[in-house]
Amino acid sequence: MVRLDIPTLEQISAGLIKVQARQGRLYPYPQDLQLGYDRVVLAFLVGGKALDVPDSIPKFYELCEQPFEEWGVEIDDEIDSSDSLLFLGEPTELTIELAEAFGGSVLSQEQTKIATELLQHCQSHPQGVQIYTKFRRFIIEHPVLSNQEFVKAKGDFGLGVGLSDLLDECYEPVPSCYELEGNFYACPYCHGLAGVNPQRQVIANSSCNRCPPGRRLKRKVKLPSDCLKLKRGIERFWFYPGRAEIQLFQKLVDLGLEVELYPECDRYDLRIKFSDGEVWALDLKDYSNPYLLVRNLGDEPIPSEPSWNVAYIVIPAERKKDRPAYLKELKSRWRWENVKPIFDDAVFALAKKKAGVCGVELAQSEADMENDTHPSTNSKRSKAGVESDTSPTESKQINTSAEGNKRPATSKTLKEKNAKRDKSPTKNKGRKT
């Protein structure tokens, strides 16, 4: 039986991404694609299947559109045999992840260059941290935009900020292959640019983790005819993981927690500080393959600064749909003791539970202080719970705008919530504090 190892698939993937970067122009063949193909030919010869080997790189390129199970080969158990390396000529998520494990790709180089320029600029600006966060959020929230919106954004990031030219490096005109009957469309789930299949149907983007690649979109969002899209490297490494980062950030803020987005210009993604002083560091990673995620994490998954007490690598919960054993597979290769892997819905539940415990302890502590100061009111306060006579202070919110405006509180403080819960002895029965 013909067997292909992961290093061979990694090299092939690196070559396929170089082809995509040249708008699908195959010749002259990228060196990695040529060498990867040579290793495939050798594997077929050694496996006694010389007559079955694709007899040219163009034919092998066509084969990359098919699932591995149709290649007539065995592959490593870490790779799903139903996966393919190309989808309608575009590298799949697996291909991008394999190329990263091989040593990087033109896509990662693209985003690394822009990230470096952004970081250097922000380090020299007095409002660098706020500007960095504002720029990253804009990219995540605008995977496609009209030319008018783009011009306005360039103005917003121009005078006083100095990032107008960097926006030019993040966006590009939408290629005509995404056009259907004179229109462009966006996915209603991830809001990224939707594709068009050979049957002239609007389909899900191959990188959208909310829809199976190629699924026909019954619902779709019509876009302006002059729209621009994120370049592929920015889309893959900033936009898709960034959606989960922003969603989790907002949910934690709505709990009344003190949350910092991209601390110290993205040392990691989220820094949560609880009322008892404990700090959590969260870094979101959106990989389709858990084994390749482990291989790409490096020696230090989360930097030690800014300091933290608890650290998590967080995976979007959507990954459970396509791969129910995702976390189990991830933990089977996990090698770090001070950082734990977890899904985003689970880490939110843990943060919510801890926030509730901290809030109860804080409210009880304040009530005890009041009782010590006003012993005559003890009986009344025991009936009324721990509500304060004064209005509670607003929870701290993280400033994510370059102008330095405070984000308004979007939910009641934990103190208010816990005080109201404490009024009902029935609801509090069995509640751990």
Q: In this predicted model, what pLDDT tens digit does every residue of 89-127 receive, in sequence order?
A: 889 889 999 998 887 677 888 888 999 999 988 888 888
Q: Could you tell me which residues come within 8 angstroms of residue 325 by beta carbon, excluding any fewer than 6 positions away? A: none
Do 210 and 243 lie in a common domain? no
User: Which residue do the tokens 């290629």 mark?
Assistant: 175
Angle in degrees, CA 347, 348, 352, rounded to 5: 120
Q: Are 178 and 195 in contact (CB under 8 A)?
A: yes
pLDDT (tens digit per residue) in 329-351:
999 999 999 999 999 999 999 99
pLDDT of residue 430: 38
Do 74 and 153 lie in a common domain? no
Which position has the higher pLDDT, 60 or 388?
60
- 410 pLDDT band, cuts 50/70/90, is very low
Which position has the higher pLDDT, 414 or 82?
82
C-alpha distances in Å from residue 1, one per residue of 4, 56, 61, 76:
10, 21, 22, 13
Q: Residue 268 carries which side chain, given as an amino acid letter?
A: Y
Which position has the higher pLDDT, 408 or 353?
353
Do 198 and 284 lie in a common domain? no
Do 69 and 120 lie in a common domain? no
Picking from 232, 257, 287, the residue at the C-terminal end of a domain is 232
Do 50 and 19 lie in a common domain? yes
pLDDT of residue 181: 85
pLDDT above 70: residue 4? yes
pLDDT of residue 361: 54
420, two tokens:
């109201």
Average pLDDT over residues 362-373: 48
Of 181-190, 331-340, 368-377, the range with the lowest mean pLDDT is: 368-377
pLDDT above 50: residue 254? yes
Pairing of strands 221-223, 3-4: unpaired
Question: Longest C-alpha distance within the chain, in Å?
Answer: 95
Mean pLDDT of all residues belonging to the chain: 81
pLDDT above 80: residue 431? no
The total domain count for the chain is 3
Which position has the higher pLDDT, 316 or 158?
316
- 390 pLDDT band, cuts 50/70/90, is very low
pLDDT of residue 211: 66
Do 250 and 379 lie in a common domain? yes
Q: Which domain holds residue 58?
A: 3-104
| Percentage of the chain lying above the pLDDT 90 cut | 48
Do 299 and 432 lie in a common domain? yes
Picking from 205, 232, 259, the residue at the C-terminal end of a domain is 232
Do 157 and 206 lie in a common domain? yes
pLDDT above 50: residue 377? no
pLDDT above 70: residue 383? no
Do 263 and 202 lie in a common domain? no
Average pLDDT over residues 281-302: 93
Of 15-19, 168-172, 251-255, 389-393, the range with the lowest mean pLDDT is: 389-393
Picking from 75, 104, 133, the residue at the C-terminal end of a domain is 104
- 215 pLDDT band, cuts 50/70/90, is confident
Highest mean pLDDT among 19-28, 180-189, 202-211, 280-289: 280-289
pLDDT above 80: residue 75? yes
Distance CA(61)–CA(37), nearest Å, equals 9
pLDDT of residue 50: 82
C-alpha distances in Å from residue 282, one per residue of 130, 243, 311, 334, 337:
19, 14, 6, 17, 15
- 128 pLDDT band, cuts 50/70/90, is confident
Burial 146-167 (b: 16+ CB within 10 A, else e): eeeebeebbebbeeebebeebb
Do 289 and 413 lie in a common domain? yes
Pairing of strands 310-315, 339-343: parallel
Average pLDDT over residues 320-335: 93
Do 260 and 159 lie in a common domain? no
Do 288 and 402 lie in a common domain? yes
